[in-house]
C-alpha cells in the first residue's frame, strides 16, 4: 500500500492543513530534540523523505533514511539525491550499534508489528550521549478519528494502524532513559482551525501539554 501511495503522499503537506500540522510538529520536535548542525541522524520509516529533507536542508544534519517501501524510497531518492537511502526493516536495522547521534521515527510506530523490538533497535543505534525521538498520532484526537472513519469506508494505510495514548507512549519510552514529551497540533482539522492554529498551539501547550493530535517523545542516552 505504501508503494501505491508514494506518488500522492506529499500532496497533503501542500494543503493549508498539512502545512499547519507540519509547522506545529516541527516546532515540537525542534524544542525537544535540540538538533545540532552536522549531527548524524538515522530516520527510520523516512517514507518519501519529507522529514529527511528538513533534517538535511533545514537543520544541516547528516541524515540517512531507511524505509521498507521501495516506492516511498524512490520518491525520496528523486528529491534528495545527495542523501543515502537504504531499504530495510525497522525490526532489524542494518547499522552498527551507536552509529548515530539521533535516531528518529515520525508516524512509523503506528504501522510496525513489534513496537518494543523497533524501539530496541532504534536505541541500539544511538550513541551514548545521543537521543532517540519518536512522533506518533494521538489516539484521542479528531485527526485519528478521521483516519479511522476513512479506513472503515475503504481500506487505507491506516486500516491496521495503532494510535497512541500519552501514558502508553511514556510507558514505552521510559525504560530507555530520561524522557521529554510534548503534545502538539491542538487545532481541529478544519479551515477555521488552521486559520487560528497559532492560538490553539499557544493555549494547548500551556493548558493541555499531553494533548494534541501529535505526540513527540525524546529519550536521552546517558
Ligand X SMILES: C[S@@+](CC[C@H](N)C(=O)[O-])C[C@H]1O[C@@H](n2cnc3c(N)ncnc32)[C@H](O)[C@@H]1O
Q: Nearest approach, Cβ of 17 to ligand X (angstroms)?
A: 15
Please report whether residue 47 would count as binding ligand X according to CB under 6 A: yes
CA–CA separation, 16 and 7 (whole Å): 19
Residue 51 interacts with ligand X (CB under 6 A): yes or no? yes
Nearer CB in complex with ligand X: 111/176: 111
CB of 117 to ligand X, least distance (A): 10
Tell me which stretch binds ligand X (CB under 6 A): 16-24, 43-51, 185-193, 198-206. Answer: 43-51
Q: Does 111 bind ligand X (CB under 6 A)?
A: yes
199 binds ligand X (CB under 6 A): no
Binding mask 69-108 toward ligand X (x if CB under 6 A, else -) reads x--x----------------xxx--------------xxx
Q: Within 126-185, which residues bind ligand X (CB under 6 A)?
A: none
Amino acid at each position: 500500500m505504501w508503494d501505491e501511495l508514494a506518488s500522492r503522499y506529499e500532496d497533503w503537506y501542500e494543503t493549508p492543513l498539512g502545512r499547519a500540522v507540519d509547522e506545529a510538529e516541527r516546532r515540537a520536535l525542534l524544542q525537544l530534540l535540540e538538533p545540532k548542525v552536522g549531527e548524524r541522524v538515522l530516520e527510520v520509516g523516512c517514507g518519501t523523505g519529507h522529514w529527511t529533507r528538513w533534517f538535511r536542508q533545514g537543520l544541516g544534519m547528516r541524515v540517512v533514511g531507511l524505509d521498507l517501501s521501495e516506492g516511498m524510497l524512490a520518491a525520496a531518492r528523486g528529491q534528495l539525491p545527495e542523501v543515502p537511502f537504504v531499504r530495510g526493516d525497522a525490526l532489524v536495522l542494518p547499522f552498527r550499534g551507536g552509529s548515530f547521534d539521533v535516531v528518529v521515527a515520525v508516524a512509523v510506530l503506528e504501522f510496525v508489528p513489534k513496537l518494543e523490538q523497533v524501539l530496541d533497535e532504534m536505541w541500539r543505534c544511538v550513541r551514548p550521549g545521543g537521543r532517540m525521538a519518536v512522533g506518533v498520532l494521538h489516539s484521542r484526537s479528531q485527526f485519528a478519528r478521521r483516519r479511522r472513519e476513512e479506513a472503515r469506508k475503504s481500506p487505507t494505510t491506516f486500516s491496521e494502524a495503532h494510535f497512541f495514548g500519552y501514558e502508553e507512549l511514556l510507558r514505552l519510552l521510559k525504560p530507555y532513559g530520561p524522557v521529554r514529551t510534548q503534545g502538539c497540533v491542538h487545532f481541529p482539522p478544519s479551515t477555521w482551525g488552521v486559520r487560528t492554529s497559532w492560538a490553539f498551539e499557544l493555549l494547548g501547550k500551556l493548558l493541555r501539554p499531553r494533548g494534541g493530535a501529535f505526540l513527540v517523545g525524546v529519550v536521552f542516552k546517558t
